Every structure is written in C-alpha cells, then in structure tokens.
A and B are shown apart, each in its own frame.
Chain A
Amino acid sequence: MNQETAVRNDRDTTSHLPNNQIKVSARKVQVYYGDTHAIKDVDVDIEDRNVTAFIGPSGCGKSTFLRCINRMNDTIPIARVEGQILIDDEDIYDKRIDPVQLRAKVGMVFQKPNPFPKSIYDNVAYGPKIHGLAKNKSELNDIVEKSLRRAALWNEVKDRLQLPGTGLSGGQQQRLCIARAIATEPEILLMDEPCSALDPIATDQVEELIRELKGNYSVVIVTHSMQQAHRVSQKTAFFHLGNLVEYDDTETIFKNPKDERTESYITGRIG
C-alpha cells in the first residue's frame, strides 16, 4: 500500500467519530438455495454513517447475504431465508413489512451492471419518478445531473443523455447503475463489487463517492480488492464457505486478524 492511501485511510478513520449507531442487525441468518446451505448462522451489526466491507473468496455467499438485507432473495423462487434481520429495530422479514418500501430505503448496485433498455436520463430518473421525489421537470433534471456527477459519469454522458443506457461501455454501465441507485436517496446502499469493471481513475472517483455517502448513509460494499476494502471501509467482514469468519474494525482485520483463515485470505494464501 502506498503512502497516499495510507494517509487517506487515516483521514477516514479519524472522520468517523462516535456516531456508531447500529443500522442493520442480523442474527442467526441462514439462506438456502433449494438444498444448498449458502449462508450459515451469520450475525452481523452494520453501523450507520459508516462503510462496511464484505470480503471473501468467490462463492462464499457475499452477494447472497447482501441480497438478504433488501429482501432481493424474495425474487429467487428456490431461495429461503431464516433468522432475523433488523433495520432501525424493525424486523424486515416481518409480514407487515412491504419489501417494496424496504427496497426504496435500502438501495442496491448489482454485481452485474443491469441498465434498463431506456435512455441514460430515464435510467437515472426511474427511481425518483416512481417515488415522486421531484416536484417538476427541472427538479428531476437536477437530481439526474447530481446523481450522474456523483457517480463520476456526468462528463462522459452529458451530451447524450437521450441515448440508450445499454449502449454504454461496461464500466460506464456500472457507474450508471450507481447513479440510478443513489438517485432515490436510500438510507442504506448495498454495492456488490461496484468497481469490478472500472479503471483506476473511475475507481478512485467511486471510492470518493462512497466516502461522501458515508456522511449520511450506511454503505455496504462487496469487493475482491483488499486495498479497496482497506481504503474505504471502517468495518470489514470476512466470509468463508457461507460462514462469517471474522467481523471487526478494518484496521484490526488487516493488521491483526484473529482467525487464521482471515489472515491467509488477506495475505493471499486462500481465495
């Protein structure tokens, strides 16, 4: 790790001061895909106004657990979720909870970019329109512009907002999906490998966005990049084969992990 990131990291850790309220609290969460037990007994507390990173080898269940937090697993017929997840002390798997409203509050950026077959503008305006966030056209324009700027895409697309979002490059699509997710102003933002197709500059900008979002929201990011987890997050959870092996302050996880599996993973020996 170079000097600069180390410095930036310091700045981040100093900036997150005492407001460590628990936003999401998961207890004994199990997820089954048919007979496959994909998430086993996961307990985790995700803090408000903080960035939490999920790391772990491919197939260990990071995406699966992330999808539990906004109940996206409901859309997979064979998936079954057990246990308890509280957001602001409310059980989100309670019968009275409307998953539609929950998802407006818990935004998500998917692992694979999935822009709608609409114009770039309409992609971003989709959420605000549905939830009536803009009073008029010019407010909507502002939301779209602001979201695209924050997702570091504005300069590339400002002249072709009416062109289809599917026509963008993979990395641009990824940022479009980020812009789309933040346009609805969620309280919790779940990002599944948001930088997997981005170049270093765009990655830097997205990380900057994540730091900025941290001021108001709780951000959960899945990443395969140790440096990224180290750079942006305050808390890190290490998953392995469906288990949450270790969950602690990012500094602790990277400097003195308690579990040897964690240590071998971050030093590159399993993965």
Chain B
Amino acid sequence: MPFYWILPVLLVIAAVGYVLGRGRAMRSADGDARNLHSLPNYYGVHAVIAGLVPAALLLAAWAVVQPIVVDTWVSQSISESRMQEAGSRGLAMSEVRRLAAGLETAVERGAITAERARSASQSMDIDDLREAVSGAGIALTGNIAPETLENAQRYNRISAVGSAIKTVLVLLLSLAGTAYAVSQTTKEFRARKSVEHGVMALLIGAACLAIFTTIGIVLSLIFNTIEFLRLYPAMDFFFGTTWSPSFTGRGGASQLGILPLLWGTFYISLVALLVAVPIGLFAAIYLSEYASKPVRGIAKPLLEILAGIPTIVYGLFALLTVGPLLVSTFGDDGWLGVDWMDGGTAVMTAGLVMGIMLIPFVSSLSDDIINSVPQAMRDGSLGLGATHSETVRQVVMPAALPGIVGAVLLAASRAIGETMIVVLGAGAAAQISGNPFESMTTVTAKIVSQLTGDADFNSPEALVAFALGMTLFVFTLGLNVVALYIVRKYREELE
C-alpha cells in the first residue's frame, strides 16, 4: 500500500475511535454527561490521540530508518571490482540508488512493466532498459554494469518488503492504540488529563522538530566543512588571498582563499551601513520625535514597504539603474571626468542599493527603541528649559544608544548574509582592493556560483560552499548574539 493510502485509513480509524470512545463513556455514565469525570468529547479525543500519535511516530521513524537499513544491506553485496570502477563504495551505491529510482519511476509511468524491471538481467536487456528508462524522462549516466542492475533490483525488492511491513505494523499499532484507549474508557477515567498530556506532547514535538532541524542544518554544515578541510588545507582556505576555483581538475589546481571574499563582504556591508544607519536613524528620530500623528501614520508604513520588496528586485535595480548611473558619473566619460569606474557592477553599486534595503530595517527598530524611552525623561529635560533637539541629542539618544547599536548590528548581520543584490550588483571578481568603484564579490555570491557550477559534489570546489557558509554563519551568529545581548541589557536598564 503506498504511503498516501495509509493516512486516510489512519484517519478513518481515528474517527471510529472517537465515536467509540465517546459512546462508551456516555454509556458507562448512563447517558448523563454530568456523571463523567471529563466532558464527553475528551473521551473521544483521547481515543483519537491513542490511535494516531504512536502510529504517526512509527511512520516517521520508519521513513528515516528504512533507507539506511536497505542501503547498508545492499551495499554489502557490491563487489570489490565494482567499487574500484566507481571510485568508492559510496559512489557505487549512489549509482545503484539512481538506477533503482529510475526503474521505479519508469514502471510508474508505464515505460516498462513491473515484471521486466524485476527480472531484466542480460546485457541485451540492459541497453533496452536504459532506452526505456530514459524514454520515461530519466537520464542515466555512464554504463550500467549487470551487477549494478542486480543490486538496484535487490534494492527495490527489499524496499517494497519493508514498506509492506511498515504498512501492516502502522495500521496494527493504530488499531491497538484505539482499542486500548476505548477499553480504558469508564466514567471515572480522567480523559481530560490525558488529553492535556497529549496536547503538551504535541507542542513539545513541534518545538523539538524546529530545534532539531536547526541542529541538523548546523551539523551538516559542520560535517561538510570538515570534509572540505580534509581535502583542502585549512591554512590556505582561511588565510589564502587568491580565489580562483577550477572546475576541471580535482583539487590542486584550485586556489580557494576566503580572504578576498571576506574583504568584499565587509567592504560592501560597510558601504551599505554607511548609507543605511544615518538615513534610517534620522528617519526614526523624525518619525518618533517630531512627526505629527497623521504624518507618522502615513510615513511609517510607506517606509516599511521598502522592507517588503524582494531582494531580487533590489538586485535588478542595482544592475539596471544604479550601476549605469554611477558609471555615467564616475566612469570614463562621466560628467565628473574622473574615470574611477569601468563597469556598472561594483562595491559602490551593491553597497548603495543594500543600504537602501536596510533603511527600513534600521529605522523601524530604532523607532521602536526611541519610543520606548519613557516620556518622563523627555519631560525632565524639557522642564529644565532644554530645546527639543537638545533633549533628543542629550537625553533620548544616550538612553536609546545601546538599543540602536543592537539594531545596527542586526542590520550588519543582514548585510553580510545578503545574496541577490551582490550577485547582480557587485560583480564576480574576487579581489582585495580599496577602490569602491571596482567590482568585488562576497562570500554569499561565491556560494551560489560554486554550487551552480557543475563541479562534482564531493570535490573541494563544491564542498568549499559549506566552509564558506559555515564561516558566514559564525560571523552572523556572533553579531546576532552580541546585538541581542546589547538590546536586552538596554531594556533592563530602562525598566
């Protein structure tokens, strides 16, 4: 039974469990709900939880465990010679998996019969099979060795058996859970309490899922980074000043120094912050201290619309509008006549546009922080005969400063992680230079280009993306932690 049949069946069992549980409770109370410990619905829900939750957990666990078991099982039957041909056991195994999936899909689409997918074995058959499989739209690379075909068939066989066992076990578990819950139901049974436990378990489950996903992502970053550092010397990566990956050779030919990328990242972020912080801060001061209610009511949402524009649109804006504008000013024939800029893509282009993107970010955070400075503090200053701007400068700003620093750090961490604007606006040249009108590139942009290139996934050229991602993550995490710490400290101080 395919996966998408199990769910409806489970739901039916749950519905039946609900009716049975509720009915039995009512009967045990002689039809009067006041004799029950809990409201009648709780008995039904109790049966539903007992029928669904353990079964769903088993389903989820099985989905994780089965591929691993099947993989280990099949990979044992890969021969030495096959392993050498493919390069490693892992690579041979991934061929098997690809072929197995191809066969499945081909059968599903009706390109070959299930019988043929199961039994094909002659070398003649293999060629036919390949044609049939690719006819169904699945490309198989390289030659298919008879052994691979055999293993793929074994893979599919074991998986099918596993799935069948899974279906049976899950349904049995669901039935057993329901039956147990219903049999437990008497009028004294504290269904309300057990539902409470069920709800709590559900909430804990959701929280755990979120946390474990995060941990999983970080772990995968870490493991792949370690893998990369095994293939490529860490010193060259962290302190290398040249970034020139080659996609032809495996290692050796590539120079993967992160410094030019970090330099580009920080340079562009710096330009962006130089644009965003003053403008955003002044806008926030105007909005929170000077603007009248109606003006604020219009201006604040308008400013926040900026925050809703997708970054790719900013990227287009950088590429098509700001870049050419800058070239016509600072370029060869520009009206300043300085010839500082050759092409439209440059640190300045990306930095300016990213700065515009960050303005609403800085301004709305700062606005909140300035607003949380108590009115009594302003009154104190005004009451001493200070003007409005003196009050803002000498009392409100110092009080809000830590919070604003936090806001700026958060903005900085967004700038460092920003991708689309730099892909389109900053260019692709990885270089360390002080000239903001030159094209440079960032860590994020290079992650994109390393992964969209056709490097082998296990090569350092592709794995470096994880190391870059990890570096970026460490920087932004650090900034966020510091920023949040400062913001929280500031909140405590005002209260």
Contact = CB atoms under 8 A, between A and B. Distances in A.
A104 B385 contact: yes
B433 to A, nearest CB: 43
B385 A101 contact: yes
Given A77-B293, A116-B380, A127 B385 contact: yes
Contacts, number: 71
B374 interface: yes
Contacts of A116: 377, 380-381, 395, 398-399
Contact of A104 (B379, B384, B394, B398): B384
Contacts of A177: 380
A192 to B, nearest CB: 10
Nearest to B386: A130
Interface in B390-428: 390, 394-395, 398-399
Contacts of B399: 116-117
A40 interface: no
B384 A180 contact: yes
Contacts of A101: 385
A108 B378 CA distance: 13
Contacts of B375: 75
Nearest to B378: A75
A166 interface: yes
Contacts of B374: 114
Nearest to A184: B384
B491 to A, nearest CB: 13
A114 B380 contact: yes
B65 interface: no
Given A116-B395, A118-B398, A100 B385 contact: yes
A110 interface: yes
A76 to B, nearest CB: 9
A112 interface: yes
Interface string A111-141: 0101111100000001100110000000000
Nearest to A100: B387
B61 interface: no
Contact of A126 (B379, B381, B493): B381
A101 B382 CA distance: 10
A107 B398 contact: no
B309 interface: no
B383 interface: yes
A70 interface: yes
Contact of B384 (A112, A115, A118, A181): A181
A103 interface: yes
Interface string B481-495: 000000000000110
Interface residues of A, number: 28
Interface residues of B, number: 22
A72 interface: yes
A117 B384 contact: no
Contact of B386 (A70, A100, A117, A118): A100
A48 B382 CA distance: 24
Quick one: which of B376, B383, B385, B494 has the most chain A CB within 10 A? Answer: B383
A120 to B, nearest CB: 14
Contact of B493 (A110, A117, A184): A117
Contacts of A131: 385
A116 B398 CA distance: 9
A107 B383 contact: yes
Contact of A110 (B380, B386, B387, B494): B380
Nearest to A183: B384
A75 B379 contact: yes
A126 B383 contact: no
Nearest to A108: B383
A174 B405 CA distance: 30
Contacts of B385: 100-105, 127, 130-131, 184
B380 A115 contact: yes
Interface string B286-307: 0000000100000000000000
A119 to B, nearest CB: 11
A103 B293 CA distance: 25
Interface string B305-334: 000000000000000000000000000000
A116 B224 CA distance: 52
Contacts of B387: 100
Interface in A73-115: 75, 77, 100-105, 107-108, 110, 112, 114-115
Nearest to B384: A127
22 contacts: A72-B379, A77-B293, A100-B382, A103-B384, A104-B385, A110-B383, A114-B376, A115-B380, A116-B380, A116-B398, A117-B377, A117-B395, A117-B398, A118-B398, A126-B381, A126-B386, A127-B385, A130-B384, A130-B386, A130-B390, A130-B394, A184-B385
Given A100-B387, A130-B384, 12 more contacts: A75-B379, A77-B293, A108-B383, A112-B376, A114-B377, A115-B380, A117-B493, A126-B384, A127-B386, A130-B385, A130-B390, A166-B493
* Nearest 5 Cβ contacts at the A-B interface: A104-B385, A114-B376, A127-B384, A114-B380, A103-B385
